[in-house]
């Protein structure tokens, strides 16, 4: 079960990193005027 916990932790960390990168991308696109400032990605 310990290996399963480690795998879950790794996948969770990858998800957090991906979320941060997506938020940074959306912010950059808003600043450059590529997407509207009222864009909601949910």
Using CA atoms, how far apart are residues 25 and 35, in angstroms rounded to an integer?
11
Q: Is 16 left (phi over 0), alpha (psi -120 to 50) or beta?
A: alpha
- Sequence spans of domains, the chain: 1-42
> Of the candidates 37, 18, 17, which has an alpha carbon nearest to the alpha carbon of residue 27?
37
pLDDT at 1: 74
pLDDT at 7: 95
Which pTM value belongs to this model?
0.72
Q: Which secondary-structure segment (H or E) carries 36?
A: none
pLDDT tens-digit series, residues 10-41: 999 999 999 999 999 999 999 999 998 887 76
* pLDDT number for residue 42: 63
């Amino acid at each position: 079960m310990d290996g399963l916990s480690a795998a879950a932790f790794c996948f969770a960390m990858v998800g957090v990193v991906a979320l941060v990168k997506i938020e940074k991308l959306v912010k950059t696109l808003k600043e450059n005027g590529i997407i509207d400032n009222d864009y909601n990605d949910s």
